Amino acid sequence: MERRPIIIIGSGPAGSASALELQRLNPELAGEVLVLEKAHHPRPKVCAGGLIPHSLDCLRQLDVPLSVPNVLAHRARVDVPGRTVEYEGHELCRVVRRDEFDASLVAVCRARGVEVREDEKVTALVREGDGVRVESERGSYHARVVVGADGSGSMVRRELVPAGRECVGKAIMTDVPQDRIDWSGHRAERYDFSFTAVPAGLRGYVWAFPCLIAGRPHANIGVYSVQAAGSGALLYRLLKEELDRLGASGDWPIKSFPIRWYGRSVRIAAPHVLLAGDAAGVDALMGEGISYALEYGRRAAARAANALATSDFSFAAYERDVADSWLGKKLRRLEMSSRLFYGWSSPLWFAIAAKSPRAQEIGIRWYNGVDGWDRRSGWAALAAWWRGTVKATPAQSSVTSKP
């Protein structure tokens, strides 16, 4: 049996960020950390690939350049019941392809001395002695710390973390070449969100993102629901309708994947075990998860390094850390927003959001984590809105009412 102080299971953004932060905190640890990945990079990942500004900040903090092809979106078109809001502002998003992006992060891990073993699926996990026994298709290991960065279906979570509240959403998507769809998003450097199906029962939205696949412009079209259970038929119907609307009807391969989100009473740690990324839970409102995967990874790494230094592997402090930090607060606010925007009071909240350019500006900065807005209190945001200290210029936002 091979003994390692830390084994990270999964090499998506959460796993790579955990490894990179461990290396940053203690370069000597890099050679002792092992990452186990069941797939082989570049591996496919069902994801629209939108990196909000906070994801880019996390990459900067990890000293990782964005080295893969990406498409900038600095405009947004948001349809809410009865209105369309056009927004133009700072950089809203960079859209990458996840196979390329995740492979680039793994390459940086390796370049910094972290061992990543691919094609090695973890098949069993048992708490044993002063750590966890990890069985994979290729070997047997013992780790003092296991970081579960194995995505929304996390085996680490199922096997080693006490059951908490189950919070699972779902998203489906397809990619259509730009020359087969009547959509201006690419040319306009814009992404589109539509919440118009909320009154019809969708607890989520439809999106269109510009992206590049093998250098060729495509539209990534998808539908998200905060509630996975029972949403399948509605998601598929709405995606088909959106493709028809955009003149892209046809047999485009549709892929679907669950998104686990964070909320109150969600468990993310146990003795010798830390969860990160989708395994822990991300944004309930929009299903955005890459920035959170990177954030969790950095925090899990700090806790793991601290545990090795202090021999305290209880990790109760990690749950508190996340819950009490701006990260936990932001994720809980996103959960609350999902209840407001997708629940019975949604007409009120959409009307407020669509009517006030100031509220839009503050909301977008908060959501994207621009200038530390997501670390400010709700009162600070309200005060800024009331006093008008955050201004949206007329070019930034315009609203069209629909009959």
Ligand X SMILES: Cc1cc2nc3c(=O)[nH]c(=O)nc-3n(C[C@H](O)[C@H](O)[C@H](O)COP(=O)(O)OP(=O)(O)OC[C@H]3O[C@@H](n4cnc5c(N)ncnc54)[C@H](O)[C@@H]3O)c2cc1C
Structure tokens at 349: 């909240």
- Residues contacting ligand X: total by CB under 6 A: 38
Residue 13 interacts with ligand X (CB under 6 A): yes or no: yes
Binding ligand X by CB under 6 A: which of 56, 68, 132, 171? 171
Residue 296 CB, shortest distance to ligand X, in Å, is: 7
**What is the C-alpha to C-alpha distance for residues 363 and 12, in angstroms, rounded to an integer?**
28
Binding ligand X by CB under 6 A: which of 64, 132, 173, 331? 173
Nearer to ligand X, 190 or 358 (CB): 190
| Torsion on CA atoms 371, 373, 375, 380, rounded to nearest 10 | 130
Binding ligand X by CB under 6 A: which of 257, 262, 350, 367? 257
Structure tokens at 2: 């091979």
Residue 76 interacts with ligand X (CB under 6 A): yes or no: no
Residues constituting the chain: 403
Binding ligand X by CB under 6 A: which of 5, 204, 263, 289? 289
The footprint of ligand X on residues 204-243 (CB under 6 A) is: 222
The residues, any chain, with a CB within 8 Å of residue 192's CB and separated by 6 or more, are: 76, 77, 78, 79, 185, 207, 208
The footprint of ligand X on residues 354-393 (CB under 6 A) is: none
Residue 281 interacts with ligand X (CB under 6 A): yes or no: no
Nearer to ligand X, 192 or 278 (CB): 278
The values of phi and psi at residue 282, to 5°, are -120, -145
Residue 134 CB, shortest distance to ligand X, in Å, is: 9
Residue 55 CB, shortest distance to ligand X, in Å, is: 6
Nearer to ligand X, 9 or 80 (CB): 9
**What is the C-alpha to C-alpha distance for residues 349 and 80, in angstroms, rounded to an integer?**
10
Residue 309 CB, shortest distance to ligand X, in Å, is: 25
Nearer to ligand X, 89 or 369 (CB): 369
Binding-residue pattern over the window 259 to 278 for ligand X, x denoting contact by CB under 6 A: x-----------------xx
| C-alpha distance from residue 130 to each of 27, 123, 143, 147 (Å) | 24, 20, 8, 15
The footprint of ligand X on residues 116-155 (CB under 6 A) is: 121-122, 149-151, 155
Binding-residue pattern over the window 30 to 49 for ligand X, x denoting contact by CB under 6 A: ------xxxx-----xxxxx
Residue 41 CB, shortest distance to ligand X, in Å, is: 8
Residue 9 CB, shortest distance to ligand X, in Å, is: 5
Binding-residue pattern over the window 80 to 109 for ligand X, x denoting contact by CB under 6 A: ------------------------------
Q: What is the largest CA-CA distance in the chain?
A: 68
Nearer to ligand X, 93 or 384 (CB): 93
Strands 273-275 and 131-136: unpaired
Nearer to ligand X, 119 or 128 (CB): 119
Nearer to ligand X, 48 or 307 (CB): 48
Residue 12 interacts with ligand X (CB under 6 A): yes or no: yes
Binding ligand X by CB under 6 A: which of 7, 8, 10, 318? 10
The CB-nearest residue to ligand X is: 289
Structure tokens at 80: 């809410």
Nearer to ligand X, 196 or 291 (CB): 291
The footprint of ligand X on residues 297-336 (CB under 6 A) is: none
Binding site residues, ligand X, CB under 6 A: 9-15, 36-39, 45-50, 121-122, 149-151, 155, 171, 173, 222, 257, 259, 277-279, 282, 287-291, 293
